[in-house]
Amino acid sequence: MEKYPAVIILAGGQSERFWPLGDKNLFSFLGQTLLEFQLKTLRQIGFRDFIVVANKNIDWWLKEHFYDVPKLEYVLQNNNLKGMGGAVLSAKQKILAKPGRPLYILNCDDVYHPDLHRKILKHYQREKADGYLAGYRVSSYQPLGYFIENEGVIQGIIEKPPSAKMPSHWANLVAHLFVNPVDFIHELEVENNKSIKTDDLYERALGKLCQKKVFRLVSYRDEWKILKYPWQVLDVADYLLSQISFKVSKDVRIAENASIEGKVIIEKGVKILGGTKIVGPSFIGANSIIGNNCLIRESMIGRNCVVGFSTEITRSYLGDDCWLHSNYIGDSVLEKDVSLGSGAVTANLRLDEANIFAQVKEKKVDTQRNKLGVIIGKGARLGVNSSIMPGVKIGKNSIVGPGVVLLKDIPENQMCFAKQVLEMKSHPYTPHAEIRAQFKRALKKGN
C-alpha cells in the first residue's frame, strides 16, 4: 500500500460569485497563491503526487509553476462536466492510469487546519476501511450536506436537510480519501449517465458508494474557511494570519519611533517610517513602504505597496502594488494595483449597525457581517474624499471620482463621477487680520 495517496485538488470552478476579484485559486495570501499554499501545506505533511483539475484562468500559472512542484499533473476541467463530480471525472484518465493509487480529494477553496490532513492520513495508514471522509462538527444548523453516521461509519449523505431533519451533527467536509478511487469513478459515471440534472453529482455518487463500502468518519472541529464570496478573503486572511510566527527580514528599515506589536511577518526591503504602528497578526510583503503616522492592524499587505501618511488599515487585505494616502481602509479587500486619493475612506459599518448585504449577480446576499468595507478589483482608482459604502464592490480598472459617495457596485472599466452644481457669486468679505491674530495669541499660550 502506498504510504501517501495522490492528492487531487479541484480548482476548476469559475469564481463567478467571487467578482470583482479574479480567480480565487490564484488569489494571493501571505505572498503565495491559494493553490500554491495548498500544495505547499500538503507537501510539508508528506504528500508528493498531485493532480490539479484547473479552469482555463489558472492554466498559465500551472504552466509557469509546473517545475516547482515535482510530480504535479494537471488537467483542464471539461466544460461539459460541471461541479465537483465533473472535476473528478475530468481527471479520469490520470486517475485510471495508476488504478492502484489511493486518492485524496480536496477543494482548492476550502481552507482547513493542516492537522485534518494528518489525521485522515493516520486513519488511512492504520486502518482497513475503503475510505475516510472528514466530518465537520456543526454546533448550530447551517445549510450543508450531513452524514448519516453509525458508530463512525458513514451510511449516506443528506444534502441541505431542514434543521429538524439533520441526520447527524457531522457536515460533509471535502477532504475525502478513497483507497480504491476506481470505484468512485465508476459510481460517478453511473450517476452522470442518469438524466438527473442537479449539481450534486459528487454527493450522489459518494452516498451510493457509502452504502456499498466502508467509509469512516474523521471528525474535525477546527477552522473551516471557504473562499466563495469576495468578502471571504477576509476570513481566509484572518485565519492564515492567526497561524503565523513572528518573522522580520533582516533587510527591513523600521524607524526608531515606529512600533510593532504582536506577531508579524515583514518581508525583505520593507520600510516602516516614523510614528507608525503595526499591530499583529499582520503581513507586509516585500518592498512595501509604510509611510509616517500610519496604523496597520490585523491586515495582510502585498508587495510593492505604498501606504502614505496617516493611513489606517484595519482587518483588511491589500494585494500587490496598492497605493494609499491618508485613507481609512477597514474590513476591505483591494485586489492589486489599486490607488486611493487622499481622504478616500471606506465605511465599514452601517449607520443602523445591521448586517451588511452584498449584491451577488442578481441576489442580495447577507454577508453575515456587521463590519464590512469595500471590495475593489485590480487596477481601480478612487478619487480624493470619496466615500465607499459597506459591502460595495468596484470592478477592475474602474475609476471613482473625487467626492463620490458610492452606494452601489460599479462594473469594470467604468468612470463614475458625481455631478455637482456649484453656485458662484462675488462676496463682500475682507479678511479679519485681527481675528487670526487673536487665534494666534491663544495658540501661543498653549502647548
Binders of a second copy among residues 360 to 379 (CB under 8 A) are 370-371, 379
Residues 311-330 that bind a second copy (CB under 8 A): 312, 321, 323, 325-326, 328, 330
State the minimum distance, in angstroms, from the CB of residue 124 to a second copy.
39
Per-residue cell: 230: 469576495
Which residues ranging from 115 to 144 are in contact with a second copy (CB under 8 A)? none
Q: Is 389 in the site for a second copy (CB under 8 A)?
A: yes
What DSSP letter does each residue of 162-219 carry, written as one string? -GGG-S-SEEEEEEEEESSHHHHHHHHHHHHHSS---S-HHHHHHHHHHHHS-EEEEE
Nearer to a second copy, 93 or 420 (CB): 420
249 vs 414 by CB, closer to a second copy: 414
Is 263 among the residues that bind a second copy (CB under 8 A)?
no
Helix (H) or strand (E) holding 220: strand 215-220
Number of residues engaging a second copy in binding (CB under 8 A): 84
- Please state the three-class secondary structure of 112-124 as a single string: ECHHHHHHHHHHH
Which of 151, 195, 245, 443 binds a second copy (CB under 8 A)? It is: 443
Q: For the packed helices 34-45 and 114-126, what is the interaxial angle rounded to 10 degrees? A: 40
CA 238, 242, 245, 246 torsion: positive or negative?
positive
Which of 309, 357, 359, 365 contacts a second copy by CB under 8 A? Answer: 309
Q: Which of 351, 362, 363, 441 binds a second copy (CB under 8 A)?
A: 351
Site for a second copy in 239-258 (CB under 8 A): 257
Chain position carrying cell 474523521 = 218
Of the ranges 166-174, 199-207, 211-219, 348-356, which one interacts with a second copy (CB under 8 A)? 348-356
Closest CB 138 distance from a second copy, rounded Å: 22
Which of 232, 316, 332, 387 contacts a second copy by CB under 8 A? 387
User: Can residue 297 be called a binding residue for a second copy (CB under 8 A)?
Assistant: yes
- Residues numbered 397 to 426 that lie near a second copy (CB under 8 A) are 397, 399, 401-406, 410, 413-426
The answer to whether 345 contacts a second copy (rule: CB under 8 A) is yes
- Write the CB contacts of 153 (distance below 8 Å, at least 6 apart in sequence): 129, 214, 215, 216, 217
| Closer residue to a second copy in complex, CB, 265/272 | 272
419 close to 377: Cβ distance less than 8 angstroms: no
Q: What are phi and psi of 420, to 5 degrees?
A: -125, 130
Contacting a second copy (CB under 8 A), which of 352, 361, 362, 363?
352
Nearest-10 crossing angle of helices 201-212, 83-90: 80
Q: What's the min distance (Å) between Cβ of 359 and a second copy?
A: 16
- The Cα–Cα gap between 221 and 334 comes to 31
Strand partners, 254: 272
